[in-house]
Amino acid sequence: MSDLFASIKQFLDDNGVAYRAAHHQPTYTSEEAARARGEEMKIGGKALVMKIGMDFRLFVLSGALKINSAAIKEHFQEKRTRFATAVELAELTGCVPGCVPPFGEPILPLPLYVDNSILANQKIAFNAGSLTDSIIMDVADYLRIAKPTVFSFSLSS
């Protein structure tokens, strides 16, 4: 079990959150993760680290959707956005691509933004700091403890 996975479970336990942990084969895509968890792809919380202007931020959207960079640029009034490189991702989160959990502070040192697509589901499922460990929990609990800024930044696949 990764230290990050243990930290997430402790954070959920400390906040009285019910969840299901699932250990599975390594997953590298939203489709693979949904299959391994036995859940619909749309409830997957795809967590992406992006550099907006000079700052890195964490964005979470449904695993069935794509990120709308234009909406993010407009929201932040920035002309430049890009995804974090694998090296930057490791430095910022300790994660490899595909296993970033959908939490800012106190789990990850990043401002957290959640797309409206997450609110359309009762559950959220996500890789929790490793490619082989997932957590499935209620969206209401996730929003309560994660305390994200919510706005629309997704596109249909």
Q: What is the pLDDT of residues 92-133, one digit of tens each?
A: 999 999 999 999 999 999 999 999 999 999 999 999 999 999
Tell me the domains of the chain and their CATH numbers.
3-156 (3.90.960.10)
pTM assigned to the model: 0.95
* pLDDT tens string 134-148: 999 999 999 999 999
- Rounded to whole angstroms, the Cα distance separating 112 from 106 reads 11
Q: Is 74 helix (H, G, I), strand (E, B) or coil?
A: helix
* pLDDT tens string 57-70: 999 999 999 999 99
- Rounded to whole angstroms, the Cα distance separating 47 from 107 reads 13
Residue among 18, 57, 19, 13 nearest 133 (CA)? 19
Spatial contact of 58 and 137, defined as CB atoms under 8 Å apart: no
